[in-house]
Every structure is written in structure tokens, then in C-alpha cells.
Amino acid sequence: MDIKPWEYADFPAFNEPVPGATRVPTTGDEIGVTYHPDVPYATAGTTPLHLQILVPQTRNQTDATTYPCMVHVQGSAWMKQDRTALVPTLSRIAERGFVVAIVEYRHSGIASFPAQIQDARNAVRFMRANAAQYHADADNLFLSGCSSGGQVALLAAVAHAADRTDMDDTSLSLAPNAADVSDATRGVIDYFGAVNGQMDDGFPSTVDHHLATSPEGMMMGHVDLRDRPDLRAAMTVESYLTPELALPPVLILHGTKDRLVNARQSASLYRRLRDVGKSAELYLLEGADHGGAEFWTDGMCRVATDFMRSNCAR
């Protein structure tokens, strides 16, 4: 055989008969995943913020092949994230033909609300501005998040829809050239989000619930929220929902035995979304706790990807 830089189409297949061997047909559309670790998308002062980007890859794809993109905000009780922890799990979404970008936000130890919302919006801008590099479809971006990330993702979509400049900051160093790019998304997936700061039983396992030392108290400025109903409302997604708000469709998933974030938070949000005329779906996973494998089965991944595909621009 000649030694040369073969093009795939020209390379001769091995077709010699091998007794006892099993030949397995392939199509070239089987999806694998390429992982781009620690991609910087913004710098806040001296703090770099990163994305973990998962890109579908097939034998048949070309440079022009694109996939819808899920920008996922990883939960951490608004504290410092383990930014690679969800890479194996969210690869299951990527394997279904979606670019996934996992967002690192400024945590409550270094920045208070709404910094986390600003960061999610800027992550969307980065993925839109750099869509071609990662085979993402710039017209079909979605936000998602789990736990505190669910709240951040929803409020980022709310902030865009309401043009809330107080929840936006394009003065951060965005890389590259993303400051003037839209942060619009086609839908939001909320995985067991901490979306309500007004419920007295919203966080069943938090001993210092609403105190300055609680996760929500730290996120809202290290203040005692018992005396600040205004701040409790500000962190509550329902506070912003009106019939006039042009919010994209919302998919909510929550376990019925969630010991950290009461499922009543998601049920209340779902009712409010429906009351103001928004497109919303709620899946209650019976017996599921705060996250876990139940949310990432083939069936539940299909629910999430079907939701995104059904809301893609045609």
C-alpha cells in the first residue's frame, strides 16, 4: 500500500475474508464526544471564568455541521463549583447530538447576586459568538441548570426577556468579541432548581435557613434574609413572571423526596408559569432525591433533548 496522506473516501477498505471474524456495519453517524476543558469565556477583575465544552463528533460530519447547544449552569448552592464534576453526566446529552457548555460562575464567596446571572448571560453570548468553532448552532441555544444553577438559568432568561440591565454586565472582559452578541435562548431546562427564596420550608435540610450564613443568605450579600423580604423576592423566579414577559418555554424536573430543595418550589413555579400563560412542563421523579442517576436515564435525557428539539428554530 502506498504511504501518502490518504483522504478517507479514497482509502481502500479491508475486505479480505477472515474465517470466524464478525463484520459489524457502521453508518458514520454514530456520535462520540470531544471534550474541550477549561475554555475561558470571561474575566471578572482577576478572576477567570471557564466553560467545559462537550462537542458531538461523527465520522460523517463536516466543518459546517452544527448542533443545538445547551448552556448548563452547574449547581453548587451558589458556592465554589467543582467545574468538571458534571462532564461525564452531561456527555449523555452531547451523545444525543447537542453541544453542551458547562458554566462556571462567580461564587458567593467573591461576588453577590446578580453576578451569577450576569455570568450565565455572558456564557450564552460566548457560545453564540464562537458557535462555529464548537459546531454549535447559534440560532438554537438553550439554558439549563441544576439546583442553584436552575435558579441562575431561569433568572438569566427572565433578565433577557425583561431587558434587566441590572442583571447584565458586558463590561467584563469577554473572550473573544462577545460583548455585542445577543444572549437570547430558545428555552430553559430547570433541574431541581432553588427557585424560591420566600418559602419557609424551601430548604428542608438547611439548619441556618435564611440566615446570613445560609447559602441563600451568602448569595444575596451575606445578609440575614429574615429581615429582607425584598431580597427574598429578588432571588425568587416567580417574582418576575407576568403575562407580558416574553419568556421562552420552560421544562422543570424535580424529585419528590428532595431533601435539599423542596419540590414545592418547582410545583409553585410551574403553577405560576401556567397562570401567566407561559409554556411550561413539569416532571416529578417519584422517590428521587436532590439529583442522582434518575435524572440522567435514557428516558429523562430523551425528555430534555426532545424539549430542546421541539423548540429549535426551523
For 184-221, write each residue's pLDDT tens digit. 999 999 999 999 999 987 788 777 889 999 999 999 99
Nearest to 40 by CA among 83, 70, 99, 82: 83
The three-state secondary structure class of 303 is: helix
Mean pLDDT of the chain: 95
Task: Write down the domain spans for the chain.
Answer: 28-310
CB 269 within 8 A of CB 195: yes
- pLDDT value for 233: 97
List the 67-73 sheet strands across, edge first. 173-174, 32-44, 47-57, 99-103, 67-73, 136-146, 188-191, 250-255, 280-285
Average pLDDT over residues 166-194: 90
DSSP 293: G
Among 3.20.10.10, 3.40.50.1820, 2.30.30.100, 3.40.190.10, what is the CATH number of 28-310? Answer: 3.40.50.1820
Give the H/E segment covering residue 268: helix 263-275
- pLDDT value for 174: 83
Nearest to 51 by CA among 155, 163, 128: 128
